[in-house]
């Protein structure tokens, strides 16, 4: 979204510097050392770091020394814990589905009929019913409560 300022320069509508023209960028710096920052860790490296982390008092300092995120260390530890718990569970051969049991509902009409229940009274209004008649029936039911 663009707007025109008094000096006929186009500025962004999201520009918070109202009344100030756009400034050209000074200098663009490309951080080449950050390129490819995402590293791939082997399972052995992950297990070794998590094992070393368990004997450490200061996890943040441990992570800084090894140039790894503390959140990543905690994630690896949690995943290892889940894997150990899953390996200790007995194998299941039957499906792990739970049947849903609930009250049986009345079949829903699929012919365009609208079903209205007010105070225990059920009224079915057909597709071709006049609107004024349907409104009158609903008002009568509401008045009878």
pLDDT at 110: 65
Tens of pLDDT, residue by residue over 111-132, are: 778 888 887 888 888 888 888 8
Q: Where are the beta strands (DSSP E) in 5-144?
A: 10-12, 114-118, 121-125
Average pLDDT, the chain: 77
* pLDDT bucket at 61, cuts 50 / 70 / 90: very high
Q: What percent of the chain has pLDDT over 70?
A: 66
- Integer distance in angstroms from the first to the last C-alpha of the chain? 55
Decide: pTM greater than 0.75. Answer: no
Question: Which helix (H) or strand (E) element contains residue 73?
Answer: helix 70-88
């Amino acid at each position: 979204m663009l707007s025109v300022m008094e000096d006929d320069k186009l500025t962004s509508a999201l520009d918070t510097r109202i009344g100030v023209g756009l400034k050209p960028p000074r200098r663009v710096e490309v951080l080449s050392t950050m390129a490819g920052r995402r590293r791939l860790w082997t399972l052995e490296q992950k297990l070794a770091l998590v094992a070393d982390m368990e004997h450490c008092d200061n996890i943040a300092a441990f992570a800084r020394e090894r140039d790894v995120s503390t959140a990543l260390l905690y994630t690896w530890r949690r995943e290892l814990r889940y894997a150990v718990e899953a390996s200790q569970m007995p194998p299941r051969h039957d499906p792990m589905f739970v049947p849903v049991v609930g009250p049986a509902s009345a079949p829903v009409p699929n012919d365009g009929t609208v079903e209205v229940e007010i105070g225990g009274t059920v009224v079915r209004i057909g597709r071709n019913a006049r609107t004024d008649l349907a409104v009158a029936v609903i008002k009568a039911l509401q008045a009878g409560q």
